[in-house]
Structure 1
Amino acid sequence: MGIEEQIYIMIYSTIFLGGVMSTFIISMIFIHRQRQAQNRQKMEQLKAEYEKTMLDIENEIQHETLSHIGRELHDNIGQLLSLAKLNFNSSRPEKKTEGQSILNQVIQEVRALSKTLNLDWVEETSLEDFILQQLKKIESTGFCTTTIDRVEHNLHLPKDHKLVLIRVVQEVLNNAIKHASPTKIDVTISSDEEGKYILIQDDGKGFDVSTASTGSGMSNLKKRMQTIGGQFQITSQINQGTEIRLSLPN
């Protein structure tokens, strides 16, 4: 083979390798851009799911708040106003004074209810105090005893995280009351190197997690925790109670 042929072969080989390399680089650029587009689409989808979750939670809490206000207006304030009317219709001076006292009580009750018409209370109330209020409500009914162990006393959270946790805790406690028939509910609020967590335990009926976890209720709670970067973990056995761990990273 002559020198000229060798030169031609080297030139053609270089051109061929250059073409292969160009094709490879173009393919990698195309794949990279495609992945970027997929990632953007995924991020937009996650953002949309997050916004929908937050909207659903706000609507649910507002619905419950309005239901609570309706009951308070009918059962509490309505009765107080009727009682005040009876006192004012009396000719006895002490009854009129008592009627004025009742009206002052009504004003205080209405002011308290007005604060719950929006979600400003979420920022004003700590998560610990909210959980304590929920447990007191349960215990006041005589349904079961409750305890709260606040190892972490300064669980500072953004409003959206707190809102999600409030709704999830409400749902977990409601499930325990409706399905578990416990004699005791224990709540622990704490934190460690990995993050913050809320542990909710009951000594009720328990259930088979492998069958219950496929239900929409548990799945919905898990998704809600995921929207704020958290986890929903459940451990339960029939006749051995249930333990639910809600965790958030630091």
Structure 2
Amino acid sequence: MQTDQRLVFILTTLIVVLMALVVITLFVVFSRKKNRLLREKATEKKRFEREIAETQIEIREETLRNISWELHDNIGQLLTLAKIQLQNATPESLDDISETITKSLNEIRSLSKLINPEFIKNIALKDALQLEIERFNRLQFINASLKIVGEEKELNQKHGIILFRILQEFFSNTIKHARGSKLEVCLEFNSDKLTIKAIDDGIGFNMEDIQKKGIGLENMKTRAKLINADINLESKPNYGTELNIYYYF
């Protein structure tokens, strides 16, 4: 009898010890996984914040390049024209002089929006795109349009910065290389996603070539991945280029 009780006691003790070891092991494993996830999350957050900062710098640099060009080639030409008109002014030419000066002032007001540091810091996707479209049309770079479809939803402001920079790269390639006459941009809002479509009617290119060289395309995809978005770029020689971005709320 005593032997049976002793055996039961030993078995019970072993079971309790084993259960304790299992609990301790599970706790250690869980703690390590939790700590690893926290470290990964912290690393991902730092990476995201770094990407946002770099993107804001790129937008600022692109904006300053645009401002520099407009001041030199556009506003500079208008003011030079106004000076010549004033030097040869007659009562009949006063309306033309006034029109030139008014146009110069409007150009300066448009630039002042971009110069404002808050524009880049608190950039809103729709407003930023509208300013770009207006600039393209004002300077007659290309016939550009922006269309909004569906009920607009407020975007994460930092995500909007990433989306704008991706589109800004596309616009830059369109203006500099595509040699097209039309640029159409559409923001289509659905319940769970935003589809952004940008299409030009330029000369296009061979997709195999850009996939071989495709540093710019890879940068777009990498940035899109950071904000839970997908990118699809399609182009054919002489058939223009189409960029689709799918951003999930």
TM-score (norm 1): 0.75
For 2:167 and 2:135, the matched residues in 1 are separated by 9
SS, match of residue 152 in structure 2: coil
User: Structure 1 residues 9-18 or 197-206, which shifts more?
Assistant: 197-206
Q: Structure 1 176/32 Cα, relative in aligned 2: closer, same or farther at 3 Å?
A: same
- 2:55 aligns with one of 41, 57, 65: 57
Candidates 5, 14, 33, aligned match of 1:16: 14
Alignment of 1:159 with 2:157, yes or no, is: yes
The alpha-carbon distance between structure 1 residues 134 and 192, as it changes in their structure 2 partners (threshold 3 A), is farther
**1:222 deviation in Å?**
1.6
CA contact (8 A) 1:197 1:246 kept: yes
Q: CA deviation at 1:96?
A: 8.4
SS for the counterpart of 2:245 is: strand
Count of matched residue positions in the alignment of Structure 1 and Structure 2: 244
Q: TM-score, normalised by structure 2?
A: 0.76
Code of the residue aligned with 1:197 in structure 2: it is: T
Query: What is the Cα deviation at residue 236 of structure 1?
Result: 5.8
**Is residue 115 of structure 2 the alignment partner of residue 117 of structure 1?**
yes
| Cα displacement (A) at 1:244 | 3.2
Q: Secondary structure at the match of 2:246?
A: strand
With over 3 angstroms needed to count, the CA separation of the structure-2 counterparts of 1:95 and 1:196, relative to structure 1, is closer
Structure 1's 147 and 42: CA in aligned 2 closer, same or farther, altered over 3 A?
Answer: same
The match for 1:68 among 66, 79, 86 is 66
- SS of the residue 2:155 aligns to: coil
- Alignment root-mean-square deviation, CA: 3.8
Q: Deviations over 1:205-235 (max 9, x none)?
A: 34139x8188432222122122222222345
- When residues 151 and 128 of structure 1 are mapped into structure 2, their CA distance, relative to the original with a 3 A threshold, is farther
Q: Is the 8 A contact 1:198 1:245 kept in 2?
A: yes
Aligned partner of 1:129 in structure 2 is 130
Once the 2 structures are TM-superposed, how far is the Cα of residue 82 of structure 1 from its aligned partner? 3.5
In the TM superposition, what whole-angstrom CA distance separates every residue of 1:3-45 from its partner, at most 9, and x where no partner exists?
Answer: 2221111111111111111111111111111111111111111
Percent sequence identity over aligned pairs:
25
Equivalence map 1:59-98=2 (5 Å) = 59-86=57-84
Task: Point out the more displaced range, 178-187 or 70-79.
Answer: 178-187
Unmatched 5+ stretches in structure 1: none
| Distance change (3 Å), C-alpha of 1:168 and 1:124 | closer
Change (3 A) 1:127 1:231: farther
Aligned equivalents of 2:177, 2:72: Cα separation in 1: 29
- 3-state DSSP of counterpart to 1:222: helix
Q: Distance in 1 between matches of 2:36 and 2:30?
A: 10
Q: Tell me, in whole angstroms, the C-alpha distance in 2 between the residues paired with 1:207 and 1:90.
A: 55
Is the 2:146–2:185 contact (alpha carbons within 8 Å) kept by the matching residues of 1? yes
SS of residue in 1 equivalent to 2:115: coil
Q: Aligned AA for 1:161?
A: H
* Rounded Cα–Cα distance in structure 1 between residues aligned with 2:182 and 2:92: 46
Would you say the 8 A contact 2:125–2:164 is kept in 1?
A: no
- Secondary structure at the aligned position of 2:187 is classed as strand
**Is contact 2:130-2:146 (8 Å) kept?**
no
How far 1:177 sits from its partner (Å)? Answer: 5.8
Amino acid at match of 1:207: M
Give 1:238 deviation, angstroms. Answer: 7.7
| Cα drift, residue 174 of structure 1 | 3.5
Q: Given the superposition, is the C-alpha separation of residues 49 and 99 from structure 1 closer, same or farther in structure 2, using an over 3 Å criterion? A: same
Please list every run of 5 or more consecutive structure 2 residues that lacks an aligned counterpart in the other structure.
none
2:229 corresponds in structure 1 to: 230
